Structure 1
Amino acid sequence: MMTPTYWAIGLFLFGLFLVSLEAFIPSAGVLGLVAGSVLVWSVYQGFVASTACGISLIVATVVALPLLFAVFVKWWPLTPLGKRMLISVPDDPDELLPDGEVYRQIQSQVGKRGTAVSDLLPNGRITIEGTEFDAVTEGVLVDAGTLIEVTDVQGNRIIVRPLASSPAAVATPEPESKEASRDFSQASPDLEVDPFDDPLA
């Protein structure tokens, strides 16, 4: 015949088993409610056996439940049930965007060339193969009409850079002709001023 002490210890262990089972079997809280009732009954049986046994079971319950909860939080997402119920966040933020027709069209523009419809300061509008898009440069300012190339797509943002061969992208000043420089450096004799002449005389 089992004594109240053995009943108390057995009910305590069975209650912890039901708490652990709740993590793997979705029961809408039924198993948790049963586990709580079993743990309370184990404490009662402990006090029936002796006061020291009852207090010991209370302390063991207070310590064991947080430990089980910590294990549940750490290991439950790794279980097959946890993987099915939890939504994993992808490492690449682009995977969070909907894979719609517009998104696929933007992604397909990488490497293509077009023209800046407006000034890119650094945001603006571009056109590629007759379709206009919002775009942003890599940090440089681009004038309207400049030929551009799509270098990257981040989310729904098209990253472009001006083409070096574009006249609007590279503005180089025309060198001063040597003849004009030589003519300017040679002063006309008629313009020479005698430093001893008094302009007020």
Structure 2
Amino acid sequence: MDPNIIWAIALIAVGAALIILELFIPSGGLIGVASVGCFIGATYLGYQAGEKTGLVILCSSVLVVGVMIYMALKIWPHTPMGRNALPTDENPADTVTKALEHLVGLRGVSTSTLMPNGRIEIDGKTYDAVSQGTIIEEGFAIEVLSIESNRILVTQVEQSPSDQQSTGDRTDTTVEYSTFEDDLEQSLGDETL
């Protein structure tokens, strides 16, 4: 057997091994370029042995490259480098939402004044929460309405009579909004022109 054919077969095997190695070692494509060089060298040596042999080596190289690329696309996403490089289907905000979904419908107590952001306690655990735009004083009973990303939306619920006695004669505080003109008119009093 012609030594050029033996070297050509060896270069095809080395080129295939380099393609596999490229999957596991991040080289910036240098190992891939080396594998292409092996296939070109194998084809050159095949044509040195004869035209028919060169054509067979060329077809073998193309076939091996195709099979290796197909296998690479099947294997690479499961390698550590492939898992880090490819985007995941799961949104990180969805994982937070799923972790808090069990809170929907549960009741707890506000541990700070929610204006509308504050802290709540449910089953002995403290969470950051958001009210529906109303002020919820510290110590009032709340209920979790929904979870949106990492926001826990709560509303104040009626307290039991024993809870109302412990909080004293608290009443809901309402905030009255006024316009700039109303405030100006009130501060000037009768001094208007």
Report the TM-score when normalising by structure 1: 0.50
Structure 1 stretches lacking a partner, 5+ long? 98-103, 115-127, 138-142, 166-201
Give CA-to-partner distance per residue, 1:38-88, whole Å, 9 cap, x none.
Answer: 1101001111112222222222222322322222222223234545x4477
Q: 1:152 to 1:113 in 2, by over 3 A?
A: farther
Q: Is the 8 A contact 2:12 2:39 kept in 1?
A: yes
Please give the alpha-carbon distance, in whole angstroms, between the structure 2 residues aligned to 1:72 and 1:59. Answer: 20
Unaligned 5+ segments in structure 2 are 118-129, 160-193
SS at match of 1:149: strand
Aligned-partner Cα distance in 2 for 1:41–1:87: 33
Counterpart code for 1:89: T
Contact 1:148/1:163 (<8 A) preserved? yes
Counterpart position of 1:94: 93
- The alignment status of 1:133 with 2:138, answered yes or no, reads no
Kindly state the Cα deviation for residue 11 of structure 1 after the two structures are TM-superposed: 1.4
Once residues 13 and 40 of structure 1 are traced to their aligned partners in structure 2, the CA distance between those partners, rounded to angstroms, is 13
Q: Secondary structure at the match of 2:115?
A: strand
Alignment of 1:95-114 (within 5 A): 111-112=107-108
CA contact (8 A) 2:18 2:32 kept: yes
Matched position secondary structure for 1:132: coil
1:186 alignment counterpart: none
Amino acid at match of 1:158: I
Match of 1:14 in 2: 14
Asked if 1:149 corresponds to 2:149, the answer is no
Give aligned pairs, total. 137
> Which residue in the other structure is 2:62 paired with?
62
Contact 1:90 1:96 (C-alpha < 8 Å) held by counterparts: no
Answer yes or no: is the 8 Å Cα contact 1:150–1:158 preserved in 2.
yes
The TM-score normalised by the length of structure 2 is 0.52
Structure 2 distance, partners of 1:164, 1:62, is 75
More helix by share: 2
Q: Indicate if the aligned counterparts of 1:136 and 1:157 stay in contact, CA closer than 8 A.
A: no
Q: Please identify, of 11-20 and 59-68, the stretch whose mean Cα deviation from structure 2 is larger.
A: 59-68
